[in-house]
Structure 1
């Protein structure tokens, strides 16, 4: 069945990836109308998230953010497909960097980096950074159940020399790379909601107490990868700009969970600047009422 679905869908995706951007965004407009007005895809989740995070905003203001978000989400989905057929020159025009010298300076010192970013603006085209650096690029991702689509995603995201590694195999591979003295840059999206049973740390994100993923921080500390936040801004339709910020120079001496907190604070800044580009369909705050008593005491101690 997996192969049948893949055979039916792949030709359509390939065809879309060869279309010019004007046509791509025409299709995106149609998908938006269908998804938002007809299907209402995850509209309840989006509205609940926006009401939770922005209680001070009026219903009209949140509705405006909601519509802009759905338009952006459709654009980004089509842009991801377009990546299959985009050229190196084209993607470098559409995803630029304000301070690539930050990475170059770290590389010159032989320092490995952990590029931490949220589900914000465009995380797909961040992979084009590998065209501008010397480091071996790795991307940590969640494996897709359909093995054929999983391979397709691997192929798309490795187009610009990024090696995708699943969350399960990441620690072993990165440890080996570090021990071999390989110059590496690892990309990880760190704003997801972990399972409550596996949560090691709870903190405030957008003013709400939630469990936080600490895998990126642990890899940094275990392998001495310098954590770097990548702020991505959407300049206009189809054009993005990234800016790097080193969070800590020496992760091995940073107190536990401070790297995670620093990352989340930078993510909050991005969201507050332009909330329509955050991925509001995720149930990021679904565990807000499940804070264990142990963590409740710790949080009270920190606040006091």
Structure 2
């Protein structure tokens, strides 16, 4: 019989959710330092990604970004305790949201709304904060291998949502149904799931297998695509969540590949503003065009 770690995990995350921001930051600094030192495989992935995407930066600069990235990554994981089990008033004071009017205005106009949420480290914070204001907000959920972790994450990410999370295993049909009901969807567009349904589109001038789903859904459902960028302030421990202006005429007359390239260029623009905030521990370039060597 497998060990049920759910009660222990919930106790740990509840602890992190109820302590002060400063104390959680101290824990984050320790965990970030340890992770950077001990997680050699993930360190290699981050180092490789930064070298590919920022070849003109000095190695010392990239190494500094690498260390800061692990610090912020660890903090974002501990902060899930706040998102999942902290007081709502504390969450509202810690997660600063701007641009929400772009969403409400589109909904008031009867538009179908697709929130484009790239993999910045504050993506969980953005989902929590938006689900506190925009209801119902429909999102994908990737089931976890460990049933205890799966239960904890499903509970936490459903905390303020009035709509059930949709398993990624079920495909995009649930998202399409939500849009047809007038419910906004929360979509993360920038992970490498292989070449099926994807195309090799430049990301920092590197061919990246990128799903065409964003452009497909926007075209098929006549949905407005509204980007959401989230960042963690290392000094204050607060999150800045920016809802940006809707993408103009997306996908318009572009092919799906052209529209997806435009999306990647937009994501790249905001990554460049602070490279430490992007989710570099993901093997973004693991799928290669035929004949090209593996990167990682």
Q: TM-score range by the shorter chain?
A: 0.7 to 0.9
Counterparts of residues 1-304 of structure 1 (less than 5 Å): 2-40=2-40, 42-127=42-127, 128-133=129-134, 135-161=135-161, 163-179=164-180, 182-196=181-195, 198-235=196-233, 236-241=235-240, 242-249=242-249, 255-287=255-287, 290-292=288-290
Q: Which runs of 5+ in 1 are unaligned?
A: 294-304
Q: Distance in 2 between matches of 1:144 and 1:70?
A: 22
1:176–1:273 distance in 2 versus 1, CA, 3 Å: closer
Tell which deviates more after alignment, 183-192 or 33-42. 33-42
Tell which deviates more after alignment, 231-240 or 48-57. 231-240
Q: Which runs of 5+ in 2 are unaligned?
A: 292-296
Deviations 1:110-165 (A, max 9, x none): 112111111113001112112323x5201112221223322221211111225321
When the two structures are aligned, how many residues end up with a matched partner? 287
Deviations 1:248-273 (A, max 9, x none): 45657653234422321111011111
State the Cα RMSD in Å. 2.3
Note if contact 1:35-1:41 (Cα within 8 Å) is conserved in structure 2. Answer: no
* TM-score, L = length of structure 2: 0.87
Q: Distance in 2 between matches of 1:66 and 1:207?
A: 20
* TM-score, L = length of structure 1: 0.85
1:276–1:178 distance in 2 versus 1, CA, 3 Å: closer
1:210–1:131 distance in 2 versus 1, CA, 3 Å: same
Deviations 1:204-247 (A, max 9, x none): 00110121122233233333321111122334442222132211
Q: Distance in 2 between matches of 1:169 and 1:217?
A: 19
Q: Distance in 1 between matches of 2:174 and 2:276?
A: 35
Note if contact 2:33-2:70 (Cα within 8 Å) is conserved in structure 1. Answer: no
Aligned partner of 1:299 in structure 2 is: none
